Every structure is written in C-alpha cells, then in structure tokens.
Structure 1
Amino acid sequence: MSRPRPQLFDKKKTVAENRRARFDYEIDTVYEAGIALTGTEVKSLRFGEGSITESYADVRDGQVWLINSNIPEFSHGNRFNHEPRRPRKLLLHEREINKMHGAVARDGMTLIALSVYFNGKGRAKVELALAKGRKNHDKREHIKERDWKREQGRLLRDRG
C-alpha cells in the first residue's frame, strides 16, 4: 500500500472543488487565500452550497479578485441576501500578489481556484493555483501517463 501524501493545507470541510482544473491545466504553484465574504455567503457555504467550476482569479489594482464563482443565495437571508456571482476579494500577502501578477503578465499563466474549504479555525479559504493551460495533445499524453502508472502499480502489486 502506498504512503499517503501529506496535505498542503489544513482542510477540515471542503465545500467546492474544481476537479476539471488538474486535467485542463498544468499546476505550478498553489496558494491558500482567505475570502472576504458577507454573512449570508458564509451561511450558504456552511450548508455545502457553492460552485467554482468556471471561476478564475484576476489581479487588479494590487488586489486579487475571485471571478465567476457561484455561491447561491441563503434560503433565510431575506433582504440581506447577497448577489450569487459577484466578484469576491481574496486576502493574500502583498509579496504573493506581486508574484502572481508577474507570472500572469510575463509568463502567460492563469490563476484558477482549485477548492473552497473551511480550515481548522472555521475560516473560509480558497486554494488558488498558478497554472498553464494544456493543449489537446498534452491532455492525451497525460491520460497515457496516468494509465501507465496505474498499470505499473498493478503489475508490481501482483508480482511482489
């Protein structure tokens, strides 16, 4: 049996995950960012609602914004409810923001959201990744490599 990989961040409850991102993009660097949310957004996330499948992050005016993420309205929110697809500010250190801005501007990389979760202290966090898009032939090669590793594991397990 293989050794479990250590988790990068303290994820207690994962709310939303972008599973397609690891296939469509070559992940380079992963960051953990806080999100500036309103009260009804937090309640909606605690109920496990939310989607980041089409979301990405953008660096504007020295700040990072999560765009196109969907947190549906809270059922008991009445007039204090939020707008479901509004841009949300991400909380990062200035040094990290500068690195991201440089990579996006210079290297043509993209900032994508991998998951939204609550950490051990109960704070909502986003796992952001600097990534480069894959072409179709790269995706095919990735599938071949993944299948070969799976087959290799089966062969080693059966022999030893």
Structure 2
Amino acid sequence: MAPGVSSAPDIDALFQAAASARERAYAPYSGYQVGAALADESGRVFAGCNVENAAYPVGTCAEAGAIAAMVAGGGRRIAAILVLADGPELVTPCGACRQRIREFGTDRTPVHLADPGGVKRSLALGELLPLAFGPDSLAGAGG
C-alpha cells in the first residue's frame, strides 16, 4: 500500500461489489463498463455503475452512483473506494469524481484501482487530487 494510505475496509468485499455493479453498467455508446464500490464510516458497502446517455454530458459515473447510494443510505464519510474497469490503461476517477470523493473523504482516503484481475494500485486521494478544495476549505466562511 502506498505511503499515506490509511488501512482500508475489506478490499475483497469492495472488489466483489464493484464487479457486480460493473456487470450491470449501461454503456451502449462507449462499451466501457465501470463499477465502483465504497465503504462508509460504518463499514457498509455501496456500489454504482456508469450509466451512459445519448446526450453524453448527462451520463453518470460509477463513483457518483456509489456516492449517491451511500448518501441515500445515511452514510456521510467514504472510508475507502474501489474503481474497476477493463481497458488498455488503469482506470482512475475522472476529475469531477475526484472532487465528489473529496467531499466525503480526506486526503488519506484509500482509492483502489482495479481491473477484472484484481487491484492493480492503491493510493491516497491526496495523490490523485493534490491541494484539493474540500469542505474544510469553507470552514468559517459565510458565518
């Protein structure tokens, strides 16, 4: 595990949930199916898959779906997240999803990058989104 990555919930459980979600992805345009799973502060696992749309900008990323499921389930903190896809390059969250993860995580939140064969790299969110703007950036603002 990379320096700065805190201990993570059960990576196998995250992998299985992401793989299952990925199988249900709706990706008729790109053919690029993505699954994501995260564990919240209570250890509960939530998953999401990408959902494409003919009007490309209105599609939904797998990470966004998993975060929405967590929030709907009452979770408020991401303890760890795993993103899974199969392609020539290692999948990483897009810029918008990095910011979404930061809203509910910290610089030390583990981000696991996987393909169908397993986790290929684990790093801290701060490595993916250095000097991030997050909720703590607004502490004391507007009040």
If asked which structure has higher relative contact order (CA below 8 Å, sep 6+), I would say 1
Scaled to the shorter chain, the TM-score interval is under 0.3
| Higher-Rg member (1/2) | 1
Q: What is the TM-score when the length of structure 1 is the normalising length?
A: 0.25
TM-score by length of 2: 0.27
